[in-house]
């Protein structure tokens, strides 16, 4: 097992020094889901919710969240993100919306946390905008689908 990079030799939490790493194009894609009652999904798809276009708001929230990740996760580096995409894949048969975020940059550290934050906040925004209709919504299955760049190379789930 490898050592935890965010711990120093005495076991104290620290931010990893990425100053000597080579810059490379780095891309991360993350997936997650939010499950809901069928009528809640229909309200979202028909844009009939009383708070407005749920998916448009969730997309904006996801992009903003990716850019604010270093303010939320203590040991994340502030990054000069060059691209964020947040997409939604409604599935009426499962009464669920799958959420996918892609984040990229050219830099010294990866963007996995930024993509995870984008998916998480997009799902939370859907929940927030629809909770008056459906308090049983469930956010689940947030995972790294793929990443590329850096010393560790490519990963595909």
Catalytic residues: 128
H or E stretch covering 71: helix 69-72
What token pair was written down for 82? 């060059």
Edge to edge, what strands does the sheet with 138-148 contain? 83-91, 96-107, 24-35, 138-148, 155-156
Q: Is 111 helix (H, G, I), strand (E, B) or coil?
A: coil
The secondary structure of the chain in percent helix, strand, coil, rounded to multiples of 5, reads 30, 30, 40
For 52, left (φ over 0), alpha (ψ -120 to 50), or beta? left
H or E stretch covering 87: strand 83-91
Residue labelled with tokens 């984040």? 103
């Amino acid at each position: 097992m490898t050592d935890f990079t965010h711990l120093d030799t005495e076991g104290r939490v620290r931010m990893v020094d990425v100053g000597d790493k080579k810059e490379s194009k780095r891309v991360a894609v993350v997936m997650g889901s939010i499950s809901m009652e069928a009528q809640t999904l229909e309200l979202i798809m028909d844009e009939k919710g009383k708070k407005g276009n749920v998916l448009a708001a969730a997309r904006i929230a996801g992009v903003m969240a990716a850019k604010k990740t270093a303010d939320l996760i203590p040991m994340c580096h502030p990054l000069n993100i060059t691209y964020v995409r947040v997409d939604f894949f409604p599935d009426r048969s499962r009464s669920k919306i799958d959420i996918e975020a892609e984040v990229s940059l050219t830099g010294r550290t990866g963007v996995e946390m930024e993509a995870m934050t984008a998916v998480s906040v997009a799902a939370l925004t859907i929940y927030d905008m629809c909770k008056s209709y459906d308090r049983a919504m469930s956010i689940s299955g947030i995972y790294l689908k793929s990443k590329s760049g850096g010393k560790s190379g490519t990963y595909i789930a």
